[in-house]
A and B are shown apart, each in its own frame.
Chain A
Amino acid sequence: DTAVSQTPKYLVTQMGNDKSIKCEQNLGHDTMYWYKQDSKKFLKIMFSYNNKELIINETVPNRFSPKSPDKAHLNLHINSLELGDSAVYFCASSQDGRGQVIQYFGAGTRLSVL
């Protein structure tokens, strides 16, 4: 009964490949996020969707494309993987509201590009 689940947990691939990471939340939340955490542990927002609509789109290479088929799912597709894409990618979700909007994170996908 995991709240925010992402697959795969580990992803090792060659430079130039295309890969996808999937995320699902069963919390009934309206908003989902993708974060990248690099080796220095800096957590950087990439994208956010609210009810399937893109609401946050930070400066991210266009090789990264999010897709939200419904409000419980947010997938991340990465084209032409580069060495610098190696990081941990976290999915998160939150319930809409004023003030305190707590984000709940998935366990992360550890991507290694060789």
Chain B
Amino acid sequence: GQNIDQPTEMTATEGAIVQINCTYQTSGFNGLFWYQQHAGEAPTFLSYNVLDGLEEKGRFSSFLSRSKGYSYLLLKELQMKDSASYLCAVTDAGNNRKLIWGLGTSLGVNP
């Protein structure tokens, strides 16, 4: 079967660094996405990894290890506005338009 696991909830302090992990077991792999979803809003694209390693984009970085079926999203210099749900999604190997989604990690940032 296909499965994506993320922690349900995390909390961190403003200005800190937080790492949100995602592990996946899928029948194939064609890339991994991270999306951010604020409460009551639409998911928005954050990052995409298809090769092993770290992709850095401002305060956000995403890492992938295909051999371990593992990714993480790293958020630096946390701000209150980073309080949101972070969704990990893996592209179906046979159809790169189909995403298999995790349940999301709800991140709360405290002052």
Contacts and interface: CB of A to CB of B under 8 A. Distances in A.
A and B are partners in one complex rather than unrelated chains: yes
Interface of A: 31, 33, 40-45, 48, 50, 55-56, 90, 94, 96, 98-108
Contact of B31 (A48, A56, A100, A105): A100
A99 B103 contact: no
Contact of A43 (B31, B43, B96, B106): B43
A59 B103 CA distance: 19
Given A41-B103, A45-B99, A56-B98, A100 B48 contact: yes
B42 A43 contact: no
A100 B98 contact: no
A62 B106 CA distance: 33
A106 B48 CA distance: 20
B42 A105 contact: yes
A94 B44 CA distance: 13
A89 B10 CA distance: 26
A40 B41 contact: no
A22 to B, nearest CB: 16
B43 A105 contact: yes
A99 B42 contact: no
A74 to B, nearest CB: 13
B103 A42 contact: yes
